Structure 1
Amino acid sequence: MPKVSIIMATYNRAQCILESIQSIQAQIFTDWECLIINDGGTDNTQEILAPILEQDIRFKYFRRTPDYQKGLPGSRNYGLDLAKGDYIIFFDDDDIAHPQNLELCVFELSKKDVSFCRYIRDIFTGDFVYNFDYSKTYTSFYIDCHYIERILKNELLFNSCAVMWRKECFKYHRFDENLMYAEEWELYSRIISDGVKGISINKSLFYGRKHADSNTGEFFNNNPFRRASNAQAIYLVVKNLKERNMLSIEILRYFIQVSLQYKEFNLFERIINTLDLPKIEGLKWRLFYAHLPLRLFFYGIWKKVKK
């Protein structure tokens, strides 16, 4: 059995998947399998990969079955059900992995007190510059449920391709297949709120290709489909924390402020309704929400004056 299962969902990325695959083949740590899950793409990805699939049996190619919904979450859940490794890591089909990626993560996970290893993910545009830092000297810190507020506010980023997990972390937690954006943010926060402890190492081990037709690119271009998914992910996060008695005033205030950006999805009302608050407390939050635009307006003026 392989030590690590790499799960790579792909959809019409024939033009760049080969470079991603080659970065996996260049890994210093070699005890892995790579499960490539085609999410119904129609380009020539399979033909491009055919020579590699024939020469390197560590790569396995599948087409997502109807048992899983179309989309990244469904393809990754399919990969999780196929995975044989002790450790799970998700790579995208257009990015580049540092040659030490698996090596250093496996080393950190060999410590019995951690269930995941987080690392730094950098962004690049255009052609990738292959100039890796091979140093094994880096700082680190432990992460547990006390970091949940920083994670949810994206002050401590948990990118889908920047964490290696013990397989047990997915025993009771899977991607929500109805989400088409922020699905990893919702899932990872759910896992960590369950009491899982991990380590974060301050070393860049993954490089994300920035382009407009990625899920993230579409979100920042105000794609309504991605925005609706983000609103739903926020709702699910609030609901999960409420059920675990982990929803602090600070986190609730933050998400109510964020809900101003999602009025078309009625996010504020959905948050308030799921909290099942006493009438007086509910009224206080409604007043807080009603006055937020004015407060933010004057706060913006104050920041400009302060400069």
Structure 2
Amino acid sequence: MAEAYVSVVIPAYNAAHTIEATLSSVYSQNMDRIQIIVVDDGSLDNTYRIATEFAQKDSQGKTFIIVKQENRGVSAARNTGIDLAKGKYLFFLDSDDLLEPDCLSELCEEAELTNSEIVMCGFDEVGENGTVLTPFEQHYRFPNKGIDGTKLLKLLLKKSTKIWTSSAIYSSSLIEQSRLRFTEGAKFGEDQEFIFKAVFNARRTSCLEKTLSHYVIRERSTMRSRGLSHFHYVASMLRVHNYLVKSGSSEEILSLIRKSKIPEAYMDVFALLVRGGNNMEMLDILHRHKAIRKQISNTSIMVDSLMWLKSVLLLYAPKIMYSYWQKTNQ
């Protein structure tokens, strides 16, 4: 384990109220040789100062790189971090999320023991006060150890399991050899896009059957904001499909994306727009768009029966779906 070395990339934008706790959770990891890279993406608050002052702590085997760049979005910030990373493994952590003290050591140890290019763990969704809102095992199961990337990708697309931005480490050589970067300019779905592409290219993956990271749900988070920019999520899934086509993916995987993931992306966006109080006339125009209707109509009952039912209702009884979305957070 002594030779394992991990770079933690933390993009930050106006994170003055959370960055110190996030950095503390990395600083408190029970391993050394951790490179902590904070990329301040043009913050207008004290994020950069707080991160810089934190970096003055006694290193305890950790090294810090704190950089500030003009505001270009989270993908650009993560890409800057990748370019600066020197570790054998890469780990991405958002500036308001937290890790268990043994998260990185256990992930790196598993990667070394199994020669895996990606190692995932469980994660819980927690409130700002630390209360667990959604345990990982409530909706997902842990995949088998030692499976290749295509098998893991199928499980991800079938929603049997899930990798969150901060619940896996990646071999740096995998990222470089696959020439993977986050899509700059994408506002939503860019993390899933990166994860799906990385998993597809992995020869071997592994899993730790325990929860080691915490996704903090905040009332004012970006994903809870409203607007047509959420269609970036659909674009991300379309890019995944096109990437896999060019990479020679199996028809089974491509079908899962076309018949489940892309329609699901549309459903998520429409639900966000409705719950945001947007004009129903605008939403009616959107759901009547020929290209959108065609992609939603691809939903297969054999792939995802619930998504198929929602797609049918949206296409042929939109008022029912609008009413449902207004009353629920599902």
TM-score relative to the length of structure 1: 0.77
SS in 2 for 1:33: strand
Letter in 2 for 1:241: L
* Residue of structure 2 equivalent to 1:269: 291
Letter in 2 for 1:110: E
* Residue of structure 1 equivalent to 2:278: none
Aligned-pair distance for 1:204? 0.8
For residues 165 and 257 of structure 1, what CA distance do their matches in structure 2 show? Answer: 28
Letter in 2 for 1:127: N
For residues 161 and 256 of structure 1, what CA distance do their matches in structure 2 show? Answer: 23
For residues 289 and 185 of structure 2, what CA distance do their matches in structure 1 show? Answer: 17
Letter in 2 for 1:252: R
Distance change in 2, residues 1:247/1:185 (3 Å) = farther
Residues 23 and 97 of structure 1 are in contact (CA less than 8 Å); yes or no, is this contact kept in structure 2?
Answer: yes
Per-residue deviation, residues 229-263 of structure 1 (Å, max 9, x unmatched): 10101111121222223232344322464365368
Residues 174 and 202 of structure 2 are in contact (CA less than 8 Å); yes or no, is this contact kept in structure 1?
Answer: no
Letter in 2 for 1:93: S
Distance change in 2, residues 1:154/1:296 (3 Å) = farther
* Residue of structure 2 equivalent to 1:51: 53
Taking every aligned residue pair, what percent have the same amino acid on both sides? 19
SS in 1 for 2:286: helix
Q: How does 1:17-96 map to 2 (within 5 A)?
A: 17-57=19-59, 58-64=63-69, 70-96=72-98
1:165 equivalent among 158, 166, 170: 170
Aligned-pair distance for 1:267? 8.9
For residues 160 and 95 of structure 2, what CA distance do their matches in structure 1 show? Answer: 26
Residues 10 and 94 of structure 2 are in contact (CA less than 8 Å); yes or no, is this contact kept in structure 1?
Answer: yes
SS in 2 for 1:110: helix
Aligned-pair distance for 1:228? 1.5
Aligned-pair distance for 1:63? 1.0
Aligned-pair distance for 1:126? 2.7
Distance change in 2, residues 1:294/1:53 (3 Å) = closer
Higher RCO (CA-CA < 8 Å; seq separation 6+): 1
Runs of 5+ in structure 2 lacking a partner? 133-141, 271-284, 302-307, 321-330
1:110 equivalent among 106, 109, 112: 112
TM-score relative to the length of structure 2: 0.72
RMSD over equivalenced CA pairs, Å:
3.4
Aligned-pair distance for 1:161? 0.5
2:312 equivalent among 288, 293, 297: 293
For residues 288 and 201 of structure 2, what CA distance do their matches in structure 1 show? Answer: 28
For residues 40 and 258 of structure 1, what CA distance do their matches in structure 2 show? Answer: 33
Distance change in 2, residues 1:81/1:260 (3 Å) = closer
Runs of 5+ in structure 1 lacking a partner? 131-137, 274-283, 301-307
Bigger mean CA offset, 156-165 vs 245-254: 245-254
Aligned-pair distance for 1:272? 7.5
Bigger mean CA offset, 157-166 vs 46-55: 46-55
Residues 150 and 200 of structure 2 are in contact (CA less than 8 Å); yes or no, is this contact kept in structure 1?
Answer: yes
Residues 228 and 265 of structure 1 are in contact (CA less than 8 Å); yes or no, is this contact kept in structure 2?
Answer: no
Distance change in 2, residues 1:73/1:268 (3 Å) = farther
For residues 178 and 123 of structure 1, what CA distance do their matches in structure 2 show? Answer: 26
* Residue of structure 2 equivalent to 1:134: none
1:241 equivalent among 231, 244, 263: 244
SS in 2 for 1:269: helix
* Residue of structure 1 equivalent to 2:233: 230
For residues 295 and 176 of structure 1, what CA distance do their matches in structure 2 show? Answer: 30
For residues 75 and 287 of structure 2, what CA distance do their matches in structure 1 show? Answer: 21
Residues 117 and 202 of structure 2 are in contact (CA less than 8 Å); yes or no, is this contact kept in structure 1?
Answer: no
Distance change in 2, residues 1:149/1:20 (3 Å) = same
Distance change in 2, residues 1:260/1:14 (3 Å) = closer
* Residue of structure 1 equivalent to 2:207: 200
Residues 10 and 38 of structure 1 are in contact (CA less than 8 Å); yes or no, is this contact kept in structure 2?
Answer: yes
Mapped pair 1:179 → 2:186:
yes
SS in 2 for 1:111: helix
